[in-house]
Amino acid sequence: MIFNKLIGLFSSDLAIDLGTANTLVIAKGHGIIINEPSVVAVKNGKYGQTQVLAVGQEAKDMVGKTPGNIRAIRPMRDGVIADFDMTEKMIRKFIEKAHGRKALISPRIIICVPYGLTQVERKAVRESALSAGAREVFLIEEPMAAAIGAGIDIREPQGHLVVDIGGGTTEIGVVSLGGLVLSKSIRVAGDKIDLSIINYIRRKYNLLIGERVAEEIKISVGTAMELDEDLTYNITGRDQVEGLLSSITLTSEDAREAMEEPLKEIAEALRDVLEQMPPDLAGDIVNHGVVLTGGGALIRQLDKYLSDIIRIPVYVADEPLLAVAKGTGKALDEIDLLQELFDE
């Protein structure tokens, strides 16, 4: 223990929220120091070799705009590692960026992972971080990190229900006495909502758009319920009949219809968790309500939409986009006190 504390004086321990859409890195004592898209841009070289050109925002800016020999890769899909090699390279780059290449000793790293990860997938995450230079790797499950980041005292004998809607997965967890009493992870979240928007616009308007435009639509006019006053958003895409560029004006009602199915799936998953709720915790959940975190929590009227379905108050956490990262960072600050939370 004393030896580990001495090492800690010379290493900068890190917490990483390894998300499908964005990766956030928290340095102990410094807060969030990196918040960038989980994207790697690589160039195909001779003899099958690949060269990493950019990671994060710089790489995302290349999505859909690269020449044939350059690829923009999202190594995380649906909350899990889709490309082990690229994930390792991405983590390594972020660690180097966080330390400015000046770390004397390899850091301890806490990585937030979806609840539904298999043991094989957990091993892949851990080995990626170790290969990227970590001294020790701890895993914390996303619902627990979201609860901590939302300001919930996870140690108290009270039940709290958290719904974290990220890029690849929606994580639903009931937290009490420092543990997850119930959890559910579904691979329906921001990416599936974007895909629904792409498919809807193709079907209704014969217009082909990409992921970036779909995400912009979701942010600009996306809503879970009808609004008193329609919002509008102009988009340009390729007409799939004529093959020419075309522009249309999309309304928030279009966006609501486009997002309807994935939002229904999230509501059904939440209902499933409530139906499995231990009777002794049900009263706590009714009293405390449901807390929404993650980027999906920012969808207009989503809290009211879910509340109408489950008939329990639903609230959006402060800074929902940062809740998981902040919770992972708090776990890093108390790493020696919260050992029981971690999957080592």
pLDDT at 66: 64
**Co-location of 178 and 199 in the same domain:** no
What percentage of the chain reaches a pLDDT higher than 70? 90
Q: What CATH number has the domain bearing residue 106?
A: 3.30.420.40
Residue 6 clears pLDDT 50, i.e. is over it:
no
The total number of structural domains in the chain stands at 4
Look at residues 213, 234, 258 and tell me which one is the last residue of a structural domain: 258
Look at residues 48, 73, 98 and tell me which one is the last residue of a structural domain: 73
Are 338 and 302 in contact, with CB atoms under 8 Å apart?
Answer: no
- Band of residue 119 on the pLDDT scale cut at 50, 70, 90: confident
pLDDT at 292: 97
**Co-location of 280 and 136 in the same domain:** no
Residue 99 clears pLDDT 80, i.e. is over it:
no
- Band of residue 304 on the pLDDT scale cut at 50, 70, 90: very high
Question: In which domain, by residue range, is 108 found?
Answer: 2-35+84-144+324-341
pLDDT at 263: 97
Residue 59 in any domain: the answer is: yes
- Band of residue 4 on the pLDDT scale cut at 50, 70, 90: very low
Q: Transcribe 253-304 into DSSP letters.
A: HHHHHHHHHHHHHHHHHHHHHHHT--HHHHHHHHHH-EEEESGGGGSBTHHH
**Co-location of 200 and 251 in the same domain:** yes
pLDDT tens-place string over residues 260-269: 999 999 999 9
Exposure pattern of 106-134 as b/e (b: 16+ CB <10 Å)?
A: bbbbbbbbbbbbeeeebebbbbbbbebbb
pLDDT tens-place string over residues 167-176: 889 999 999 8
**Co-location of 230 and 289 in the same domain:** no
